[in-house]
Amino acid sequence: MQAHSKIDFSQPSPNILNAAISGAWKIGSRAFSPETVLSRLESDRGITSLIVDANELSAWDTTFLTFIRAITKGCQMKGVTLEIQGLPEGVEHLLHLAAVVPEQKGVSQKKRRLPFLYVVGESAIHFFTSSKQMLSFIGEATLSFLNFLLGKARFRRVDLLVFIEECGADSLPIVTLISILVGLILAFVGAVQLKLFGAQIYVANLVAIAMAREMGALMTGIIMAGRIGAAYAAQLGTMQVNEEIDALSTMGISPMEFLVLPRLFAMVLMMPLLTLYSDLLGIMGGAIVGVGMMDITLVQYLTQTQATLDLTNISLGISKAGIYAIIIALSGCMRGMQSGRSAAAVGEATTSAVVTAIVGIIVTDGIFAVLCDVLGI
Amino acid sequence: MNPDAENTPHIIVSDLTMAYGDFVIQRDLNFTIYRNDIFIIMGGSGCGKSTLLRHMIGLQRPAKGQIYYGDINFWQADAAERSRVMKKCGILYQKGALWSSMSLAENVALPLEEYTDLPDRDIKEIVSLKLALVGLAGYEDFYPSEISGGMQKRAGLARAMALDPDILFFDEPSAGLDPVSAKRLDDLILQLRDSLGTTVVVVTHELASIFAIGNNSVFLDGATRTMIAQGDPHKLLAETDDPKVKEFLTRGEAASLESLAE
């Protein structure tokens, strides 16, 4: 076991401080902080010269280097002359190496503490630029769609089929689970209240209307935002990192048409179908509660559901689903395309795609609710 | 392909200034790339070589200055004109940039499908020829993730060559390759130039490549943020007085020799 690190101070004359260093100065061993020396210089202003004697140093690593560097810096600032004796050759070389390339001015971007108003202003500006980007992305997507209508847009049909499978068939299990559960929950909530009036049969109405108008599209939308919106952002973000998108645009192929359109189409085609499926399973979930717990027969339940549901309710839900699909696909693709060129940026893009999509869905749903009320739908 | 075309300017960069916002990366770049040149853009890491390439291939708009392809002012032209120019260029990106959702054959075929009316059979033939040229015959149905980095790069080259471009751009072709593969890639570049008459623009800091293939070059300096030398790298090595260029071209050995002599 090597001797512990040690500093012995002596003061041969009032203006000279002698620091004799000995023992092992290594990471893990109890090393001194440069403050032990510097505080002495601080407390005794009379000292004009510091002599560090490292002759007794037995072992060293980076700990010692940083110690010496800090002391050198401290002495320079205080105007104390520093003399170091007996420094091991390796230490000298490394210190020289660290000093040989001077610090680049203007390179280190120090994070200053910015004033509060500055931060507020900056985020306001950021908000406007990002809304501008969003609008221009939507505009570009619209133009590519027009190109598609004119038969000029180019993307691979195979891609479209793959995305359709990804959005449609692959999403069925999770949509099934969530929809049945939502149906069950709605039925439970309704059952407790309606039982008070002996009106259990109206659970069927409640579940059917709620699923068809709201919950079917909303829950499918949220599932798809997490499943597909995130996937789109991650795919396009990675392609951005990999320069694949650059490779497309330099080849004169619009990434908007080639990458975004098939993803958008797959979503717009599949979301309404999934929503219809979700409505059905929600009603089934409601039926499980109604039949299993409230002495309603299955026939009664279904007849009641049939009497309640009309095409307006169902088509309202489905048209919402179409709009949610556009929101999810576009926010996923937009965040992916805007992603920076690093792993962290792709992660951020994915998170922000899901957040954008869900906020978009909820806000749109709110608008729909108000519109339906006004129009009496 | 036209032997008379030699020594006519192919790409002219004039007064180019590149910047991200207020941060200038390089300013006042002036150089000319002639037909059949293998033109090297060199300089230390982070001096803006790849950024210069991005400006030349239309991915980033210059803050100031012009780039001419023949007599077309690239950045003043409209998007359609630019994409016509780019159609004659092939680009090999640093990491290959193969489209990861497509097999190698589909990657090479896509430009052909986009820009030619060839029937599928002919496209297939061309694709397998191009892959064979870069030593990847038989790898048609592999996906980019299933092959090594060096192979991805070669496949990227096959894609860049798909349309028999007039100009080939290489972004750090030998980065991440072992010395033997790097040498093979250099040989391939020379052969392409000699047999197809392609103009080649290479961004690199690989000395061995610079001297093996380059016959014209520009040296970008990160500290002064402009170009400090241009011309044939061999001549530069023999004639330059600029210590930075000398240091770079000799791997700093000239400088250390001098300091020893002192």
At A87 the pLDDT is 85
The answer as to whether A217 is a domain residue is yes
| Residue B137 near residue B169 (C-beta atoms within 8 A) | no
**What are A88-135's pLDDT values in tens digits?**
888 888 888 888 777 666 555 556 778 899 999 999 999 999 899 999
DSSP B145: G
The model's confidence at residue B2, banded by pLDDT at 50, 70 and 90, is very low
Nearest CA in chain B to A243: B97
At B1 the pLDDT is 42
The C-alpha atoms of residue B46 and residue A249 are separated, in whole angstroms, by 24
Q: Closest to B83 (Cβ–Cβ): which among A242, A244, A252? A: A252
The C-alpha atoms of residue A177 and residue A100 are separated, in whole angstroms, by 65
Residue A250 and residue A323 in one domain: yes
* B-chain residues near A248 (CB < 8 A): 99
Residue A212 and residue A74 in one domain: no
At A68 the pLDDT is 86
What pairs with residue A56 in β-bridges?
A22
Residue A224 and residue A345 in one domain: yes
Closest CA to B107 of B171, B50, B160, B36: B160
The answer as to whether A122 is a domain residue is no
CB atoms within 10 A of CB B188: 18
At B258 the pLDDT is 54
| Residue B237 near residue B244 (C-beta atoms within 8 A) | no
The answer as to whether A118 is a domain residue is no
The C-alpha atoms of residue B74 and residue B68 are separated, in whole angstroms, by 5
At B6 the pLDDT is 57
pLDDT at residue B11 greater than cutoff 80: yes
**What are B14-46's pLDDT values in tens digits?**
999 998 888 888 888 999 999 888 999 998 888
The answer as to whether A341 is a domain residue is yes
Q: Closest to A246 (Cβ–Cβ): which among B97, B100, B159? A: B97
Residue A154 and residue A28 in one domain: no
Residue A150 and residue A92 in one domain: no
**Residue B174 φ/ψ region, left for φ over 0, alpha for ψ in the -120 to 50 degree band, beta for the rest:** alpha
pLDDT at residue B261 greater than cutoff 60: no
Mutate to test the interface with B, among A158, A161, A242 (most CBs of B within 10 A): A242
Q: Could A246 and B59 be called an inter-chain contact, meaning their C-beta atoms sit closer than 8 Å? A: yes
At B3 the pLDDT is 45
Residue spans of the domains in chain B: they are 3-88+165-261
Sheet holding B64-69, edge to edge: B23-34, B9-20, B64-69, B72-73
The C-alpha atoms of residue B54 and residue B42 are separated, in whole angstroms, by 15
Number of domains in chain A: 2
User: With an 8 Å Cβ cutoff, is A165 touching chain B?
Assistant: no
Q: Closest to B59 (Cβ–Cβ): which among A154, A159, A250? A: A250
Q: End of a domain among A79, A100, A121? A: A100
CB atoms within 10 A of CB A86: 12
Q: Could B95 and A159 be called an inter-chain contact, meaning their C-beta atoms sit closer than 8 Å? A: no
Mutate to test the interface with B, among A243, A249, A256 (most CBs of B within 10 A): A243
Sheet holding B226-230, edge to edge: B89-92, B167-171, B199-203, B38-43, B216-221, B226-230
Residue A222 and residue A357 in one domain: yes
Domain CATH code at residue A71: 3.30.750.24
* Percentage of chain B exceeding pLDDT 90: 26
Q: Write down the ipTM of this complex.
A: 0.82
Closest CA to A349 of A242, A229, A251: A229
User: With an 8 Å Cβ cutoff, is A42 touching chain B?
Assistant: no
* B-chain residues near A100 (CB < 8 A): none
| Residue A255 near residue A245 (C-beta atoms within 8 A) | yes
The pTM assigned to this predicted structure is 0.79
The C-alpha atoms of residue A368 and residue A362 are separated, in whole angstroms, by 10
| Residue A346 near residue A238 (C-beta atoms within 8 A) | yes
Residue A15 and residue A72 in one domain: yes
**What are B107-148's pLDDT values in tens digits?**
999 989 888 888 999 999 999 999 998 888 889 999 999 998
The answer as to whether A43 is a domain residue is yes
Mutate to test the interface with B, among A103, A160, A251 (most CBs of B within 10 A): A251
Please name the fold of domain B3-88+165-261.
Rossmann fold (3.40.50)
Closest CA to A214 of A321, A356, A355, A308: A321
User: With an 8 Å Cβ cutoff, is A117 touching chain B?
Assistant: no
What mean pLDDT value characterizes chain B? 86
The model's confidence at residue B4, banded by pLDDT at 50, 70 and 90, is very low
Q: Is B76 helix (H, G, I), strand (E, B) or coil?
A: coil
- Extract the residue ranges of chain A whose pLDDT is less than 70: 1-3, 31, 103-111
What residues make up the domain containing A51? 6-100
Closest CA to B104 of B86, B88, B121, B128: B128
At B206 the pLDDT is 86
Whole-number CA gyration radius for chain A? 35
